Amino acid sequence: MKRFPLGRFSVARIGFGAMQLPGPGVFGPPRDRDQALAVLRRAVDLGVDHIDTSQYYGPDIANELIRDALHPYPENLALVSKVGARRDESGGWLPYDEPDQLRRAIEDNLRSLGVEQLAAVNLRSMDDATSDERFDDQLTAMIQARDDGLIGGVGLSNVTRERLLRALERTDVACVQNQLNLVDRASIPVLEECTSRGIAFVPFFPLGSAFVRPNPVLDNEQVLNTAERLGVTPVQVALAWTLGLAPNVLLIPGTSSVRHLEENLAVADIELDDQARQHLAAVAG
């Protein structure tokens, strides 16, 4: 599988996202804990060396599963997390992005995963109206965590191109994690900026939002028709399209099923032909 730099690591371009390991709504324990552990172990057995997680997946659940399944970790395994949010008692998503809260969240990730340093941590923006001044304070906390050796690289999530450029005036950026898929292509300018600068771009919701039904990507007629013609699944079509956007795209499809994990990783060997790309170009909403 082709590779791309992620901080000090060089990772396969298809990794694993831990968001689907906890219970429904990314909240509470998994329906089948043994299966969740088996998925993580199988992923590493198949060459996955980039796992994306967060302390607020569960909360705590995803990180605990990763540690129970894989610790002590392979030396080449890049563990990446994100900070900037927390969960309330009913599973609601709330900001947790004051500088001291970001630092505390990074330390919580380190403790729960059982590591001294994470490959990178993404500063997740939960508020589009965050001022430049507030963003600068948040970025200062992330830079300090890197300089203190807690994280290998500073990442940004849910960020505009303008905010990315502002960050780059102060620090290297290891990765950017924004929503991008066949239907939602609003982050293409951010991807292009990352590509030109050699920054890893990690699309979240590459299959459409996990919280929206019907799924705007996987239930799209062009995607379904392309999958049938090529003899692959709609998920594989959507992932192959995303992977083919640029060489710095790193996929992190998540699943709680070993079979689906294997299907996701098989995307590395799927080439979309010109007809497929032409048809999929018309999908964007």
* Calpha distance 64→21 (Å, rounded): 10
Residues whose CB falls within 8 Å of the CB of residue 27, separated by 6 or more in sequence, listed in order = 58, 59, 87, 91
Q: State which H helix or E strand residue 85 sits in.
A: strand 85-87
User: How many distinct structural domains can be found in the chain?
Assistant: 1
Q: Going from the first residue of the chain to its last (285 residues), give the mean pLDDT of each consecutive group of 10, the final group possibly shorter.
A: 94 98 96 98 98 97 98 98 96 96 98 98 88 96 98 98 98 98 96 98 91 87 96 97 97 97 97 94 79
Estimate to the nearest angstrom the gap between the alpha carbon of 282 and the chain centroid: 25
pLDDT at 38: 98
Within a domain: residue 103?
Answer: yes
* Calpha distance 97→71 (Å, rounded): 29
* Calpha distance 173→155 (Å, rounded): 6
Within a domain: residue 285?
Answer: no
Q: What is the pTM of this model?
A: 0.96
What letters, b where the CB count within 10 A reaches 16 and e where it falls short, cover 241-254?
bbbebeebbbbbbb
Tokens of 217: 């990507």
Containing structural domain, residue 155:
3-280
pLDDT at 282: 86
Q: The domain spanning residue 156 has which CATH number?
A: 3.20.20.100
What letters, b where the CB count within 10 A reaches 16 and e where it falls short, cover 193-204?
bbbeeebbbbbb
**Catalytic residue list:** 57
* Calpha distance 243→267 (Å, rounded): 9
* Calpha distance 110→238 (Å, rounded): 33
pLDDT at 285: 57
Within a domain: residue 21?
Answer: yes
